[in-house]
Structure 1
Amino acid sequence: MTPIRVLAVASEVYPVVKTGGLADVAGALPAALSEHGVATRTLVPGYPAVLGTLASAETLLQWPEFYGGPIRVLGGTHDGLDLYALDAPHLFARPGNPYVGPDGRDWPDNGIRFAALSRMAAEIAQGAIPSFVPDIVHAHDWQAGLVPAYLHYGRQPRPGTVMTVHNLAYQGQFPPDMLATFGLPAESYAMHGVEYYGTISLLKAGLQFADRITTVSPTYAREIQGDEGGMGLGGLLRERSGVLSGILNGIDLSVWNPATDPNIAARYSMEQPAQRAANKVALQQRFGLQVDPDALLLGVISRLSWQKGLDLLLETAPTLLSEGIRLALLGSGDRDLQDRYSALAHAHPGRISVVIGYDEALAHLIQAGADALAVPSRFEPCGLTQLCALRYGAIPIVANVGGLADTVRDVDEAAVAGGAATGVKFAPVTADALAHALRKANLLFNDQVTWRRLQHAGMATDVSWHNRAGSYATLYRELIAAPQR
């Protein structure tokens, strides 16, 4: 098998820097791809956290001026990842969140920052680092969306390009007068170029010019071709449907493994599940909830936003309380939702508890200790928390959308009898339907034989990257075999 060289381009990568699922995918996929004969280098911005992990990295490129200042490209490894870092202090030497300042607003030069990342990826794709000339450039989300555009307008022989959409809601829109700043030709500002309703959309650029488009579940790939799910890009995606596919995400089983997880109170496995109960006790104590093995403990690990349906879960509070369900929620986001959840917890101590923020270790304990995990998203490209829940024996309660629909097998009589069911789905995505699902889950929880069967089926589900990475490797090989670009 001929090795394939892939340059991945991402704005975050776990475990170096993470704000969401993109980082998990960018961090886990390279190792899984290596099993399929794919060697990956990942280009990331040189944030302080990135440079701190690459202290002994090699300088591969050094230019005196690049989008407003001097830059270096550093090459090194961290935690098994082969990384290239764009060290551009004028763009990335900022503490905290990669995208927003201390005031919570987007950095005003985000367009230039990620145009620079994309331009450097295009330079590497054209051979700027002779020791690694890629066969494929794989761009992730809007922050890397200009990579296919730069290569298209460069009008030189180039590698194949793949654009992966992790969430179509984030499109990277900027004023049209930035076209020259981005280094794009005037002709690119057109309907079949980077123009998008009077703006420049970096995501649209990637979708327009990439040789192949992927998104992170088959159902989401269908949803985004519709007018509602397409969020203004449905027409383009329908036009390019012949090169669009959905490949499910996986999770890193070395990170998410209840048999070896250092972040949980007691380790356990599908074959030896008894110690899971100790994690429920530890989770109840950590959140200040009443310790009660007979009460359904519902976990939530989520961004608090309209997309994630967390306003709907708030509306089900009377159901949670009347059913005796306990809630342990970890998340942050919309300030109003944060305040409303905090007020609800204050009004019902011992029954509802909320931790505002994100804590990776606590997320692991929630997966290990919660009886069920709620993901009531209005739309969900793939979702990773429900995959972790399956792995850890927490029963997912999910909206029947996107990747949630593809990864959770609903409870019905036939599925339970055959041992195939792994969770509870609900539709439409309303508070009433969610409340019904919660009551249904509570009824199932009180039938421990059925509940154990659900847990066993979930923990037996393949949520790894192995087969999913194989789909990417196949796509890469098909693209390499295609006619010269």
Structure 2
Amino acid sequence: MPPRPRRLLSVASECAPLLKTGGLADVVGALPSALAEQGWRSRVLMPAYPGILERVGSTKVVWEDPDLFGGPAVVRAGRHGGVELLLLDAPHLFDRPGGPYNVDGHDHLDNHVRFAALSWAGARIAIEGTADRWRPDVVHAHDWQAGLVPSYLHYAQADVPTVMTIHNIAFQGIFGPDQLDLLRLPTWDFHHEALEYHGLVSTLKAGMVHATKVTSVSPTYAQELTTPEFGFGLEGVAAARRDGGDLIGIVNGIDTTVWDPAADRAVVHYSVDDPAAKDRNRRELLAEFGLAEPAGPLAVVVTRLTHQKGVDLLLEALPGFVEAGGAVIVLGSGDPGYEYALNDLGARYSQSIGVRIGYDEPLSHRMYGGGDLVLVPSRFEPCGLTQLYGMRYGAIPVVASTGGLRDTVVDASPENLAADVATGFAFADIDAGGLAWALSRARELYADPPAWQRLRHRAMSTPVDWGPSAERYAALFAEIMR
């Protein structure tokens, strides 16, 4: 008989296509199928937010707790979108209006309790197994919402190896030490080498301290985490794990079955070897937003509207770009001030700038399909998936040279263009001037159609799937099992 597949429990607060607020969900949803090719069978544990159980359909109860931080809870096993799911059905924690983390723009006041419950359930399943006799060999915890899984396993002295992945260290799950007893955490370990974080508790720090290994979502970001500029107060913890050989950067991939211009139902199909229909997608996208045909490239922006994402740099640089012949379409939501400013910019340049406030997955696919450029001017970016979607669809990325953007985009310097390795435009000075300079280079190359077509072909030919990264994760999981 062949050996049974190794078992991985992935604990996360969201998973595409079931629920998505950002790139975390895409990673959690895509990695299981890639790991299956490496001999790993994954289950994803996430909360049963309102409407989730109805979307999944048939489930069976495989774990229960009569008092999970204030109320009864069960875990239901099901399947959706090719992903095996364990859904934490705890109505007292998750059956409420709003998004998974907030309502009307304000965080749920008990988020620390809600996601401690998710972590507790993950740890107990790792120790006890489920009613259908499934117990993981390794637990993979994602971001602060699952940060207490390694801690609960550590305090239970459970022999279950864990990997803690940091998708964005800016979000840390902070609460007061007066909550330690409530969350079943030992007050005796409230000190700077364990749970204490500047007088408070950080679930992300707890995970970083107690996990067997810590990963970040790109090699450059792993290095950046050890610096005050990017570590957000946890640079010392990151440096200690790095020095011990326990902090590793593994770049994200994307699900190339979902993101495939040759099969995507949201676009007119085209491919790297037959890109002609991309022009039709471009025309249809311009028409959808009522924009005039520009003399230069059409740039698209799909992002959260926050300071981190460099939206203020866009507001400063885009007028010059469109006045020089470009056009821009923006999709996103976030800071109300940025939403207002972008709408105002769109009204001032109504023939050249289109703005859609909100989240629209099919529209994002149409934008990559029709865009010539995708703009990612982030001040910091752990990995970023936007640039990978852009490369896959021939929307050339214009990126700040930071984090995973640096690791995944090869700048269109004269040398890189001559060697046919360039995949986009990068700028090291992360300010409006740096972005404007990169946009001017993109306009110049766009004016040379043969050179532009070569750049687009190279970008679309570059592997962006999960294959190599899944191999690295599988090797890491196998290592810590030993």
Q: SS at the partner of 1:29?
A: helix
Instruction: Give the drift of 1:295.
Output: 2.6
Instruction: Give the drift of 1:289.
Output: 0.9
Instruction: Give the drift of 1:158.
Output: 2.1
Q: Which residue of 1 aligns with 2:240?
A: 239
Out of 271, 274, 293, which is 2:273 matched to? 271
Cα distance in structure 2, aligned partners of 1:117 and 1:448: 52
Q: Which residue of 1 aligns with 2:362?
A: 361
Q: Say whether the 8 Å CA contact 1:319–1:439 is kept in structure 2.
A: no
Instruction: Give the drift of 1:64.
Output: 2.3
Q: 1:214 to 1:349 in 2, by over 3 A?
A: same
Q: Deviations 1:137-175 (Å, cap 9, x if unpaired)?
A: 0000000000011011112x3210000000010011011
Q: Say whether the 8 Å CA contact 2:401–2:428 is kept in structure 1.
A: yes
The letter for the 2-side match of 1:310 is V
Instruction: Give the drift of 1:52.
Output: 1.6
Cα distance in structure 2, aligned partners of 1:407 and 1:351: 29
Moved over 6 A (4+): none
Q: Which residue of 2 aligns with 1:10?
A: 12
Instruction: Show the 5 A alignment for 1:164-175.
Output: 164-175=165-176
The letter for the 1-side match of 2:32 is P
Instruction: Give the drift of 1:194.
Output: 1.3
Instruction: Show the 5 A alignment for 1:215-364.
Output: 215-241=216-242, 242-264=245-267, 266-292=268-294, 294-364=295-365
The letter for the 2-side match of 1:71 is A
The letter for the 1-side match of 2:246 is V
Q: Which residue of 2 aligns with 1:148?
A: 150
Q: Which residue of 1 aligns with 2:444?
A: 443
Q: Say whether the 8 Å CA contact 1:307–1:378 is kept in structure 2.
A: yes
Q: SS at the partner of 1:180?
A: coil
The letter for the 1-side match of 2:184 is G
TM-score (norm 2): 0.97
The letter for the 2-side match of 1:14 is A
Instruction: Give the drift of 1:317.
Output: 2.9
Q: Which residue of 2 aligns with 1:399?
A: 400
Q: Say whether the 8 Å CA contact 1:3–1:38 is kept in structure 2.
A: yes
Q: Which residue of 1 aligns with 2:92?
A: 90
Cα distance in structure 2, aligned partners of 1:92 and 1:235: 34
Q: SS at the partner of 2:476?
A: helix
Cα distance in structure 1, aligned partners of 2:56 and 2:377: 39
Instruction: Show the 5 A alignment for 1:62-81.
Output: 62-81=64-83
Q: SS at the partner of 2:28?
A: helix
The letter for the 1-side match of 2:336 is R
Q: Say whether the 8 Å CA contact 1:17–1:49 is kept in structure 2.
A: no
Cα distance in structure 2, aligned partners of 1:63 and 1:308: 40
Q: Which residue of 2 aligns with 1:20?
A: 22
| Matched length | 477
Cα distance in structure 2, aligned partners of 1:13 and 1:188: 32
Instruction: Show the 5 A alignment for 1:127-206.
Output: 127-129=128-130, 131-155=133-157, 157-206=158-207
The letter for the 2-side match of 1:428 is D
Q: SS at the partner of 2:263?
A: coil
Q: Deviations 1:18-70 (Å, cap 9, x if unpaired)?
A: 00000000000000000000010110011123212233100112332211011
Q: Which residue of 1 aligns with 2:126?
A: 125
Q: SS at the partner of 2:420?
A: coil
Q: Say whether the 8 Å CA contact 1:296–1:326 is kept in structure 2.
A: yes
Instruction: Give the drift of 1:2.
Output: 6.0
Cα distance in structure 2, aligned partners of 1:85 and 1:203: 22
Q: SS at the partner of 2:462?
A: coil
Cα distance in structure 1, aligned partners of 2:319 and 2:72: 58
Q: Say whether the 8 Å CA contact 2:317–2:432 is kept in structure 1.
A: yes
User: What stretches of structure 1 of length at least 5 have no aligned partner?
Assistant: none
Instruction: Give the drift of 1:120.
Output: 0.4
Q: Say whether the 8 Å CA contact 1:125–1:158 is kept in structure 2.
A: no
Cα distance in structure 2, aligned partners of 1:200 and 1:63: 25
Q: Say whether the 8 Å CA contact 1:270–1:456 is kept in structure 2.
A: yes
The letter for the 2-side match of 1:23 is A
Q: SS at the partner of 2:8?
A: strand
Q: Deviations 1:235-287 (Å, cap 9, x if unpaired)?
A: 111111010000010000110000000011x1100010111100000110111
Cα distance in structure 2, aligned partners of 1:420 and 1:63: 54
Q: Say whether the 8 Å CA contact 1:16–1:49 is kept in structure 2.
A: no
Instruction: Give the drift of 1:76.
Output: 0.9
Cα distance in structure 2, aligned partners of 1:465 and 1:187: 42
Q: 1:69 to 1:375 in 2, by over 3 A?
A: same
Q: Say whether the 8 Å CA contact 2:120–2:149 is kept in structure 1.
A: yes
Q: Say whether the 8 Å CA contact 2:129–2:136 is kept in structure 1.
A: no
Q: Which residue of 2 aligns with 1:429?
A: 430
Q: SS at the partner of 1:453?
A: helix
Cα distance in structure 1, aligned partners of 2:414 and 2:276: 26
Cα distance in structure 1, aligned partners of 2:230 and 2:65: 42
Cα distance in structure 1, aligned partners of 2:415 and 2:152: 52
The letter for the 2-side match of 1:412 is S
Instruction: Give the drift of 1:418.
Output: 1.6
The letter for the 2-side match of 1:284 is L
Cα distance in structure 2, aligned partners of 1:54 and 1:317: 42
